[in-house]
Structure 1
Amino acid sequence: MKKMNGAARTLASAALLAVTVPAWATNGYFPHGFGLKAKGMGGASIAMAHDAFAGVNNPAQAAVVGSRWDLGAELFNPRRSATISTPMGAMEVESRKDTFLIPEFGYNVALSKKLGVGITVYGNGGMNTEYPAVFPGDTNFFCSGPTTCGSGKLGVDLMQLIVAPTVAYEVADGHSFGVSPLLVYQMFKAYGLQAFGLPNQGQDSSTGIGLRLGYLGKLGDRVTVGASYSPRIDMSRFDKYERLFAKQGDFDIPENYAFGVALQVTPKVQVALDYSRINYSGVPSIGNASLSNFANGFGAANGPGFGWRDVSVTKLGVQWQASSQWTWRAGFNHGTNPVRSQDVYLNILAPGVVRSHVTLGATYSPAANTEISFALWHAKRQEVSGSMPAPTKIGMSQNGIGLQYSRKF
């Protein structure tokens, strides 16, 4: 579906204002996990039904998680920098935007012992940078002088809101299937790209409808397995940026899938392992090579993109129920790097290069129907260097902390 009607666009805009989600980058530009419980376990969530975020983790979980709602928010702190070597010397600059407040919400209702419905509201994205002018004459990396660069600031800002209503049914004892339509609204703006023939265009929006499918199954008393799949979401074009993104402003959401297994090691200790794949290369504006496609011109079907490769992610988490009130979690998340050396220069705008996260979290239950969860995580600095069209190095590190309040009913 390419366009929403006026009422739907108005509703999506209102939702975005209520739940504005700055874009960020972790596994490429997908977060390392959704929900504070999953974030505390390195993002592992596909085979664990412990909150109302089924619409983004695994829709089949809605059949077994019960009636509850979860409201969370996090402070996310990515540190991005770029260094470029010129005849004047090496110049390094950091993105000014480095702290974001990111909310998320999930609601689930058990209509029967086998049927559950819910809704998840979450954000996705990965290109939010603002570099100040770095060269004499108030110019940025991509510009040759203040006449062509305006203020000299360079950056992009992508925001994505996804609303996922969900229905799931237990088709056999311990085996559930679920489906979540994905209603997507995204906004984008870029500035400081006059050197590429693109004057500042301001903010533009795009819409689309996608799908996520899920399965959850118990293999005996100790092992649970799960899987989820979302095909590429066909988004309407960013008309103002038809001369930037390949295929005349097209910026789809890539196909992604995940598999998970959870093992009840002891009555109090559970270990979860997920594998996920994000196929960035299937979206031309993301996957097209930057320099080798440069002659085709920005905006063309085979024009330059960010050159991102597909990303594979392994997520390992452990959960320990220390008492009736306290549950502790830890995890490790490791993914491949989507940015190749030959595409570093354009990825100054979107340096999504971190690979590994360590995480910690816990849940405190003051009453049987109430939970307070927190998680914190760190990704060490990762850098990628390239030599064309000038020696360039981009880098990123991340820290984050979040709090979630949950009620069962």
Structure 2
Amino acid sequence: MKFVTPALLVGLAVVGWPLAASATNGYFSHGYGVRSQGVAGVGIALPQDGLAAAANPAGTAFVGNRLDVEASLFRPDRGASIHGNAYGADGDYSANGKRHFVIPGLGYARQVSPALGVGLAVYGNGGMNTDYGRNPFAAYGATGKAGIDLAQLFVTPSVAFRPAQGHAIGAAVTFAYQRFAARGLSPFDNAMVSSAPGSVTDRGHDSATGWGLKLGWIGEVLPAVRLGASWSSRIQMSEFDRYKGLFEGHGGFDIPASYGVGVAWQASPALTLAADWQRIEYSSVRSVGNPLSVLFSGGQLGADNGAGFGWNDISVVKLGATYAVDERLTLRAGVSRAQQPVPSSQTFFNILAPGVVRNHFSLGASYRLAGGELSAAYTRAPKVTVAGDGSIPAGFGGGEASSHLREDVLTVGYTWAL
């Protein structure tokens, strides 16, 4: 227990770190922990470090006694274009006013007994940031820069119990903190569009909190083969009061439920192959899932069942491999592919939130040192453009909007064995 206090102090330091926004599988992170990121986010049946509970709380039982601290340098390239607009909004727009973000993470695990493990994971689930120096809504009367800043931070204490050899069940509670700001959206800040004019844009940062539950299982069903399953509840968040005229339900922006299954096969003493399937229920959160067209049937921004960003639920498939070269060096590689959350009919409002990348390609490595282990992972998400199809309503001059995004993520972490 002498290591609990240092772990909590580091955790508090991470919580106090200025939040950064990322956007990978929609606005969920593609992977939690540097080792998971090295295999494109695989982790449901392949726990590798103290952040394992972020993907599956049962993983806390399999990672030993450790403290993992890491940071990711996230570099998105995002923007939009408009053509055929009757109000003169045509043009190409870059949202790269801010290019680099630092995302911290921490994981702690302790095996209290052969049958019981406890842990603490602190991580950024994801988010979204756009920073348009040239405002894409200027033709509608907007001035200054435009964009949004959404960041989410999670603190997840977990417990995992081994009912039998090779099997574990886990549970965790998650405290979620999210922060949001919007600017340059004055064309949407009026009584015709919003249910609460004056609470749509340029109100500075607002924050919201909530609690959720995670459950998971990992079991060795065949020699050298593990299966896993995990579920994370929807997190009911407090409202963004400053933006009650933007988000459905008077500022509501809950975090959607997600769930998945995984498999890991120890193909040889050195080689492990693993795969995950994950489902994220974006459409269940009305501020995310309701389409903008609701606006023209009486569903104003901010109102109950009002207009939103029109995102779809998505499934993600992840494949990864780890190879132990020797006792010191382990190599990793992975690839993942996600469904598209942003329909082509919804690209106009999603100029603000172009979470459209689909593929991730990852490489990683760990090297054991005398006092611990140094790990790194690099992920590339190639550029994806979603071209609009009936995307700009006639009330905004018609035409089409396209959104694009590309990402690079470099994560470095260090592990202390406790």
Q: Normalization by structure 2: what TM-score? A: 0.89
Residue in structure 2 matched with residue 8 of structure 1 by the alignment = none
Query: Matched residue of 2:292: which SS?
Result: coil
Residue in structure 1 matched with residue 109 of structure 2 by the alignment = 108
Give the AA of the match of 2:115.
Answer: K
Tell me the CA shift for residue 169 of structure 1. 0.7
Tell me the CA shift for residue 292 of structure 1. 3.8
Give the AA of the match of 2:125.
Answer: N
1:402 is the counterpart of 2:406: no
1:323 is the counterpart of 2:326: yes
Query: Matched residue of 2:59: which SS?
Result: helix
Query: Matched residue of 1:324: which SS?
Result: coil
Residue in structure 2 matched with residue 124 of structure 1 by the alignment = 125
Residue in structure 1 matched with residue 192 of structure 2 by the alignment = none
Provide the rounded CA distance (Å) in 2 between the counterparts of 1:89 and 1:28.
Answer: 26
Tell me the CA shift for residue 49 of structure 1. 2.3
Give the AA of the match of 1:307.
Answer: G
Give the AA of the match of 1:299.
Answer: G
Kept after mapping to 2: 8 A contact 1:20/1:161: no
Provide the rounded CA distance (Å) in 1 between the counterparts of 2:294 and 2:373.
Answer: 52
Count of matched residue pairs: 388
Residue in structure 2 matched with residue 160 of structure 1 by the alignment = 152
1:149 is the counterpart of 2:149: no
Residue of structure 2 aligned with 1:301, choices 304, 321, 327: 304
1:337 is the counterpart of 2:345: no
Provide the rounded CA distance (Å) in 1 between the counterparts of 2:128 and 2:410.
Answer: 20
Provide the rounded CA distance (Å) in 1 between the counterparts of 2:258 and 2:293.
Answer: 26
Provide the rounded CA distance (Å) in 1 between the counterparts of 2:226 and 2:306.
Answer: 44
Structure 1's unaligned 5+ residue stretches are: 1-10, 134-139
Provide the rounded CA distance (Å) in 1 between the counterparts of 2:271 and 2:111.
Answer: 26
1:365 is the counterpart of 2:368: yes
1:268 is the counterpart of 2:270: yes
Tell me the CA shift for residue 199 of structure 1. 4.1
Give the AA of the match of 1:268.
Answer: A
Per mean C-alpha deviation after superposition, the further-off stretch among 228-237 and 48-57 is 48-57
Query: Matched residue of 2:369: which SS?
Result: strand
1:63 is the counterpart of 2:55: no
Residue of structure 2 aligned with 1:50, choices 40, 45, 48: 48
Instruction: Tell me the alpha carbon deviations over residues 263-299 of structure 1, each in whole angstroms, 9 at most, x when there is no partner.
Output: 0111111000000000000000000011244442101
Residue in structure 2 matched with residue 137 of structure 1 by the alignment = none
Provide the rounded CA distance (Å) in 1 between the counterparts of 2:210 and 2:361.
Answer: 34
Q: Normalization by structure 1: what TM-score? A: 0.91
Percent same amino acid at aligned positions? 43
Tell me the CA shift for residue 212 of structure 1. 0.6
Provide the rounded CA distance (Å) in 2 between the counterparts of 1:173 and 1:270.
Answer: 20
Say what the alpha-carbon RMSD is for the aligned residues.
1.8
Give the AA of the match of 2:136.
Answer: F
Residue in structure 2 matched with residue 6 of structure 1 by the alignment = none
Tell me the CA shift for residue 385 of structure 1. 1.2
Instruction: Tell me the alpha carbon deviations over residues 28-87 of structure 1, each in whole angstroms, 9 at most, x when there is no partner.
Output: 101110111110101111111221113211111112211101011111111001011246
Tell me the CA shift for residue 20 of structure 1. 2.8
Provide the rounded CA distance (Å) in 2 between the counterparts of 1:26 and 1:405.
Answer: 23
Provide the rounded CA distance (Å) in 2 between the counterparts of 1:63 and 1:331.
Answer: 24
Residue in structure 2 matched with residue 242 of structure 1 by the alignment = 244
Residue in structure 2 matched with residue 72 of structure 1 by the alignment = 70
Residue in structure 1 matched with residue 203 of structure 2 by the alignment = 201
Provide the rounded CA distance (Å) in 2 between the counterparts of 1:341 and 1:52.
Answer: 39
Instruction: Tell me the alpha carbon deviations over residues 315-365 of structure 1, each in whole angstroms, 9 at most, x when there is no partner.
Output: 000111111111101000100010001100000000000000111001111
1:180 is the counterpart of 2:189: no
Provide the rounded CA distance (Å) in 2 between the counterparts of 1:378 and 1:63.
Answer: 31
Provide the rounded CA distance (Å) in 2 between the counterparts of 1:357 and 1:65.
Answer: 25
Residue in structure 2 matched with residue 218 of structure 1 by the alignment = 220
Give the AA of the match of 1:77.
Answer: R
Query: Matched residue of 2:250: which SS?
Result: helix
Residue in structure 1 matched with residue 357 of structure 2 by the alignment = 354
Kept after mapping to 1: 8 A contact 2:15/2:122: no
Provide the rounded CA distance (Å) in 2 between the counterparts of 1:124 and 1:302.
Answer: 25
Per mean C-alpha deviation after superposition, the further-off stretch among 177-186 and 83-92 is 83-92
